Amino acid sequence: MIDIFQSDSFYDFLKGTGILEPFRFSVFRKDREVGRIQGYTQKDGNFLKRYLSRRAIINGGPYFDENITSEEIGALLRMCYSGLKNHVIYIESRNFKDYSLYKSVFEGVGFQYEPHYDFIINTSDPDLVDSRMGKSRKRDVKTSLKNGASIVDEPSMDDLSAFYSILSDLYRRKVKTPLFPESFFLKLWESPFSKFILVKYQERIVGGTLCVYDDETVYEWFACGEDGVYKNVFPSTVATFYGIQFAVSNGFKRFDMMGAGSPGDGGYGVREFKAKFGGELVEYGRFRYVANRPLFVLGKIGVNMLKKF
């Protein structure tokens, strides 16, 4: 199945943002597409920073037909890096499914594997979701609602701006990696495959989650909250909880939390937070092709310095 990130509708969305440059490479057997790599190229900041931050991102990983051959995958990967290598410093596939069967093919054409965690919640059985969710998470949601927090599942443009302000502050203070501009989120708001679930308290938006979805899976792409600001109100927990409930109520098979750090990253706080929602910890990793090693090393040093200082 082609997931949302490899779909035609997502390609059209990317094209319409005016911010990201979409790309697509496909391999066909006769008239049937058996493989697709779709993503976007991204740059940040001023001229120098944009030059040093050129990258290609494949969210979710490529689409492979169940009968695709290793030769067809190899041809598709070579097509991808040949088409992008003169425009970006590196290409990264952020996998949301198991590509272990194809790891040797990726590595054979120059993609390096890096371990990376994710949490996936089976939402096909409501009772299972409830039984696996941590008691502290359910308690925090109940306490938050009792103390006046509420859900906004049909947000206004002003609500989205408030959500974006909280999210951008989080990225500036803690995540310390670039965030898409507000117009990107407004464009997503207009799309047929997104769901914003925001949390309001004392007439203010205090957190929320942005999910995108296909026929089977809801992906939690961005989530944030003013946690620790209000007594007995836990916006991030409430937002993610209701994102999961959206998946359960609408018959989706799974809720993908879209990343939980890497092994050896020193007690990754986000992983600890996500673990208590009852999902399965998986390690699907990432594949990376470095097109310009000196600039890649320079950029990595710059990112590490930014996060440190």
Write the pLDDT tens digit of every residue in 8-36.
Answer: 999 999 999 988 999 999 999 999 999 99
Could you give the CA distance from residue 255 to residue 248 in angstroms, rounded to a whole number? 9
Structural contact between residues 80 and 92, judged by C-beta atoms closer than 8 angstroms: no
Quick one: 108 and 18 in the same domain?
Answer: yes
Averaged pLDDT for residues 133-144: 97
Q: How far apart, in Å, are the Cα atoms of 101 and each of 35, 68, 200, 205, 284?
A: 15, 12, 45, 44, 11
Averaged pLDDT for residues 128-133: 96
Q: How confident is the model at residue 66 (pLDDT cuts 50, 70, 90)?
A: very high
Residue 299 is predicted with a pLDDT of 73
Residue 80 is predicted with a pLDDT of 98
CATH number for the domain that contains residue 108? 3.40.630.30
Residue 305 is predicted with a pLDDT of 65
Structural contact between residues 286 and 99, judged by C-beta atoms closer than 8 angstroms: no
Comparing CA positions, the residue from 185, 276, 265, 263 lying closest to residue 223 is: 185
Question: Can you give the residue range of the structural domain that contains 174?
Answer: 119-282
Query: 274 pLDDT exceeds 60?
Result: yes
Strand partners, 33: 28
Query: 59 pLDDT exceeds 70?
Result: yes
Residue 304 is predicted with a pLDDT of 64
Could you give the CA distance from residue 56 to residue 14 in angstroms, rounded to a whole number? 13
| Residues of the chain above pLDDT 70, percent | 96
Q: For the chain, what is the mean pLDDT? A: 94
Cβ contacts of 303 within 8 Å, gap of 6 or more: 177
Number of domains forming the structure of the chain: 2
Quick one: 136 and 270 in the same domain?
Answer: yes
Query: 155 pLDDT exceeds 90?
Result: yes
Quick one: 89 and 135 in the same domain?
Answer: no
Query: What are 281-302's pLDDT values in tens digits?
Result: 999 999 999 999 998 888 777 6
Quick one: 134 and 109 in the same domain?
Answer: no
Rounded to two decimals, what is the model's pTM? 0.94
Quick one: 197 and 300 in the same domain?
Answer: no
Cβ contacts of 120 within 8 Å, gap of 6 or more: 254, 255, 256, 257, 279, 280, 282
Quick one: 78 and 147 in the same domain?
Answer: no
Query: 267 pLDDT exceeds 60?
Result: no
Residue 1 is predicted with a pLDDT of 87
Quick one: 169 and 274 in the same domain?
Answer: yes
Averaged pLDDT for residues 257-279: 85
Quick one: 61 and 152 in the same domain?
Answer: no
Neighbours of 251 (CB within 10 A): 10
Query: What are 159-216's pLDDT values in tens digits?
Result: 999 999 999 999 999 888 889 999 999 999 999 999 999 999 999 999 999 999 999 9
Quick one: 11 and 104 in the same domain?
Answer: yes
Query: 309 pLDDT exceeds 60?
Result: no
Name the token pair of 168: 């951008």
Taken as a whole, the chain contains a residue count of 309
Quick one: 241 and 293 in the same domain?
Answer: no
Residue 176 is predicted with a pLDDT of 81
Averaged pLDDT for residues 211-230: 97
Query: What are 238-251's pLDDT values in tens digits?
Result: 999 999 999 999 99
